Amino acid sequence: MTGRRTAALLTAAVVALLPTTAQADVGYPDPQPVTGQQIIHDPTVIQLKSGGYVAYSTGGVIGARLSRDRVQWDDAGNAFAAPPSWWYEYNSTGDPWAPDISYRAGRYWLYYAVSSWGTNHSAIGVATSPSGLPGTWTDHGKVFSSDTTDTWNAIDPAVTAADGGLWMTFGSYWTGIRMVELDPGTGKARTGAPVHHLAARPDAPYAVEGPYVVRHGRYYYLFASYDACCAGVNSTYKIRVGRSASVTGPYADSTGTPMTAGGGDLFLASHGRYIGPGGESVFRVGGEDWIAYHYYDADDSGTPKLGLNRLSWTKNGWPVAG
């Protein structure tokens, strides 16, 4: 990741929670080779109606990259020329995190979070664009927020259309992964909508975040990032997954362990030079699912880079990175 959040994420307080070296597992596939601007954090990717791809990420004023072929990625500036003024309520630098892009009702929708490291005084905002390209976004303000009196943290949004409704998954640490229903017209949380609980870690520091829900067949699959990110080669991030017949849960792994009780099948973990994969999102290309994430390159001083893998499915309906 580049930008102001890097310094905050590499504080001594974070590093103190981590082992001196990450544990690697060689049983996972390498990401697809990419070229060009590979540095990224918390990527969200979509194939544009106009052709090619755009990836948005943490860093800058929601950093942007463009590609024609999903291999060569070029720096495309930022989604916004400057931070909307309301962002400064949540951090002094107007620094946004973890965007999520989607397309519906003839427009592209970009969700993102604004917060400060280590606090749940946080908010999720939304912007729309006719093209999905950087510099074309109109911000519409807050979608949902949390404060220190809440038991959840309103960051890391991901939006899913399901069962005739629109749902936003979010959450980081505190009590874990949550979900709230959105108004399809405004893209914002419905007034008085209940906050559903999808996943949690029973052990301190309750390290689960970065959720993403995707449907395959008759199930919804919840991907989430577990353990600690953002410390280069010392990161212990990994991606776990569970599934549910209902978008609001309950989600469980292949052994039946509920994700609210710490369950989740290990989907992707450190291996070789690819340390701490996480911050994931899923996108579709020609009927195929792909997963985007960041990892820390052990052969490049722990620089965060873009990981892309085809998402395959077993006969039993569980996802596999290809």
Q: What would the DSSP string read from start to end of 132-182? A: --TT--EEEEEEEEE-TTSSS---S-EEEEETTEEEEEE-BSTT-EEEEEE
| Domains identified in the chain and CATH numbers | 5-321 (2.115.10.20)
Per-position pLDDT tens, the chain of length 322: 333 333 333 333 333 333 333 334 448 999 999 999 999 999 999 999 999 999 999 999 999 999 999 999 999 999 999 999 999 999 999 999 999 999 999 999 999 999 998 999 999 999 999 999 999 999 999 999 999 999 999 999 999 999 889 999 999 999 999 999 999 999 999 999 999 999 999 999 999 999 999 999 999 999 999 999 999 999 999 999 999 999 999 999 999 999 999 999 999 999 999 999 999 999 999 999 999 999 999 999 999 999 999 999 999 999 999 9
- Which candidate in 42, 156, 253, 297 is catalytic? 42
CA 94 from chain centre, in angstroms, equals 19
Q: What's the confidence (pLDDT) of residue 254?
A: 98
Structure tokens at 28: 């996972």
Q: What's the confidence (pLDDT) of residue 195?
A: 97
Q: What's the confidence (pLDDT) of residue 318?
A: 98
Active site residue 288: no
- Which candidate in 209, 227, 253, 297 is catalytic? 209
Q: What's the confidence (pLDDT) of residue 13?
A: 34
Active site residue 30: no
Angle 4-47-143 from CA coordinates, rounded to 5°: 55
DSSP characters for 68-86?
SSSSEEEEEEES-SS--GG
Q: What's the confidence (pLDDT) of residue 292?
A: 98
Give pTM, 2 decimals: 0.91
> Is 65 in contact with 71 (CB distance < 8 Å)?
no
Q: What's the confidence (pLDDT) of residue 8?
A: 37
